[in-house]
Structure 1
């Protein structure tokens, strides 16, 4: 790639995740304070991410892969997204806000695959060239949280500005997309089955008992994960943490650090220990939140944020590598799509619908009983960890084409 293309792709990736981080982290606080939403409504709003993840393969498989260049549909989706984000700032109650954010997430989630498609098309060695460009995506998320925290939008109850900031960034990325290198449809004229769209070609992996245990654990562990994504920001603000969104971005810095160290850990610990450490850290994180506060145990709040790198990298990245090794060359893409659909689609969806009512059930006269709330995902994660340790066996047996076909 030439330097101009590298810069464009880096800016594209930066804006892609800046847009998401600009409003997603603090949406729960905005809904609670500005729209007077309940915990159940907040959980329902965050469930739109999972619904978008479930629908995204159909948009990519039926439209982007067959009829339009990836950069053009990326531009169109972000321009529509910019309009929806701005429109959301004019809505004064949850009932009118929800359908707009649902439509937005259905439009936004497919762009995560599109930015990868545009990037990979320009690369001769993706393993070497993609990580530096993907780094700018995480940086975008970090910068968004830093802006929100440093400008005190949470403290000043002006989080409506996060949606306006996302709208402007989406407009910029929408226009930039039309200047990106051409990425023509890869399956033009080809028929695509339902199974191919959601990665069912790789379902034969589940015949491997250990992979089945990992697959089920991945879905189950995403239930407590939803508690973190949906309610950490409202919790931290209620606990009195200043610049909460900024401090939450420290979790992304942690993610980058542990990502760099992943090859060393992977070789020395192996799949089972890596996955187990990831799940154990989730238990520890929620225990920190349960006992943390804005006074003597403030350090627990910070620790619960900073361990995000271990929580995410040790489980999800290790799981992606484990899936990649088992799937074989023919089914790698299908297997990754299938596990993503199961985790961010099914698992997170269940977690979002469970977390909201549980938060409402622990509402108090002055806020919420966060101690009791956070012990719930801690217990769920602990049960998943124990079941995983009892039944998972690390047997790296590759799946052949004959066993991987549905």
Structure 2
């Protein structure tokens, strides 16, 4: 890549994830405090991500892969997204807010695949070049959180500005996208079936008993994951953490550091131990949240946030590598799409519905919750998934050499 193209792709990644991080982390707090919703409604708002993840393959497969250049579709989607975010910020109640945020996630989720597609098409050696570009996305998410904390929007009740900040960034990326390198669709012979568009051609992997166990564990572990995304920020604000959104960005810092160590750990530990450590980290994280507070046990809250790197990288990134190693050459992309559809689509959808109802069930007063009990529930779910996984999963694959394991091969999308 030329320096100009590298700069454009890096800025694209920065804005892509700055937009998401600018409103998504504090969404639960905004809904509970500004729109006076129930936790069940918060869960419903977060499941729009799952709906977007399910719809995204259709948009990419039916439109981007066949008819229009990826950078133009990216521009149009982000311009639409800017308008929807701005409208969401003007909604007076949840019934008015929900249609806007649902429409927005259906528009936004396909852009996650588009930015990767645009990047890969411009790179001569994605295995070496992609990580350096993609890391700017995580930096964008971190900067968004630090900005919210620095401006003190959580404490002064100004979280509506997060949507307007995200809308401005989305409009900027929408216009900027039309200056990105041309990425025309690759002509394919024949028509793709619905199953191919959704990556269902990779369903044959489930014939492998160990992969089936991993697949089911991936769906199940996304249930406690939904608790983290939906209610960590409201929880931290309720227990008195200052600039909670900024502090939460430590999770992304941890994620980057542990991702760099994945090749070393993968070779030394193998698939089963890596996945198990990732799930164990979920259990420990929620125990820290259950027993941490804003006073003497404040360190537990910080430790729970920092564990995000192990939680995500050791399970999801290792799982992506495991999936890639088992999939045939013709179905690697389909396999990644299939596992993403199952986790961020089905798993997160179930978790979003369940988490909201549980948080509502343990509401003690108008503004307070029994967070200890709430966090012990996802801890228990994660522990049960871990126990079944350790009992049934058999690691029959020899770990790859360190130099063979790369972010590009794993088709990694950092879960910020």
Question: Which TM bucket (shorter chain)?
Answer: over 0.9
Distance change >3 Å, CA 256–CA 132, structure 1 → 2: same
Shift of 1:189: 6.4
* Displacement of 1:185: 1.0
- Residue of structure 2 in register with 1:404 after alignment: none
CA deviation vs aligned residue, 1:270-317 (integer Å, no higher than 9, x gap): 000000000000000000000000111111000000010000000000
Q: Does structure 1 residue 391 correspond to structure 2 residue 386?
A: no
Structure-2 separation of matches of 1:187 and 1:233: 45
Corresponding position of 2:153: 153
Q: Distance in 1 between matches of 2:107 and 2:127?
A: 28
In structure 1, distance between residues paired with 2:347 and 2:303: 25
Any conservation in 1 of the 2:39–2:359 contact (CA below 8 Å)? yes
For residues 108-140 of structure 1, the C-alpha deviation after alignment (integer angstroms, 9 at most, x for no partner) is 000000000100010110000100000000000
Change (3 A) 1:69 1:126: same
Equivalents in 2 of 1:156, 1:147: separation in Å? Answer: 14
Unaligned residue ranges in structure 2 (runs of 5+): 400-416
Cα distance between partner residues in 2 of 1:143 and 1:395 = 41
3-state SS, counterpart of residue 66 of structure 1: coil
Which shifted more, 278-287 or 188-197?
188-197
Report if aligned partners of 1:21, 1:141 keep a CA contact under 8 Å in 2. yes
Q: What do the CA deviations read for 1:10-30 (whole angstroms, capped 9, x no partner)?
A: 000000000000000000000
Per-residue CA deviations over 1:190-236 (Å, capped at 9, x if unaligned) read 41101101111111110100000000000000000000000000000
Residue 239 of structure 2 corresponds to residue 239 of structure 1 = yes
TM-score by length of 1: 0.97
Q: In the alignment, is residue 278 of structure 1 matched against residue 278 of structure 2?
A: yes
More moved, 389-398 vs 247-256: 389-398
Distance 1:212 1:189 in 2: 32
Q: Aligned-pair RMSD on alpha carbons?
A: 1.0
Q: Residue 368 of structure 1 aligns with which residue?
A: 369
SS for the counterpart of 2:176 is helix
Paired residues of 2:58 and 2:197 also in contact (CA < 8 A): yes
**Superposed, which structure 2 residues align to 1:2-401 within 5 Å?**
2-187=2-187, 190-365=190-365, 366-396=367-397
The answer as to whether partners of 2:270 and 2:398 remain within 8 angstroms in 1 is no
- Cα distance in 2 for partners of 1:210, 1:397 equals 14
Q: Give me the whole-angstrom Cα distance separating, in 2, the residues matched to 1:187 and 1:225.
A: 38
CA contact (8 A) 1:224 1:381 kept: yes
Q: Distance in 1 between matches of 2:192 and 2:97?
A: 35
Task: Decide whether the 8 Å contact of 2:79 with 2:171 is kept in 1.
Answer: yes
Counterpart secondary structure, 2:47:
helix
Deviations 1:83-112 (A, max 9, x none): 111111111100010010000000000000
Distance 2:187 2:255 in 1: 34
Query: C-alpha distance in 2, partners of 1:16/1:190?
Result: 33
- After superposition, what is the alpha-carbon deviation per residue over 1:229-262, rounded to whole angstroms, capped at 9, x for unaligned? 0000000000100010000000000000000111
**SS of the residue aligned with 1:245?**
helix
Matched residues in 2 for 1:309 and 1:58: separation?
31
Question: Residues 84 and 188 of structure 1: is their aligned pair in 2 closer, same or farther, counting only changes over 3 Å?
Answer: farther
2:331 and 2:197 mapped to 1: Cα distance?
Answer: 13
Number of aligned residue pairs: 398
Which residue matches 1:403?
none
| Residues 41-67 of structure 1 deviation map (CA, whole Å, 9 limit, x = unaligned) | 000000000000000000000011111
Check conservation: 2:65, 2:185, Cα contact below 8 A.
yes
TM-score (norm. length: structure 2): 0.95
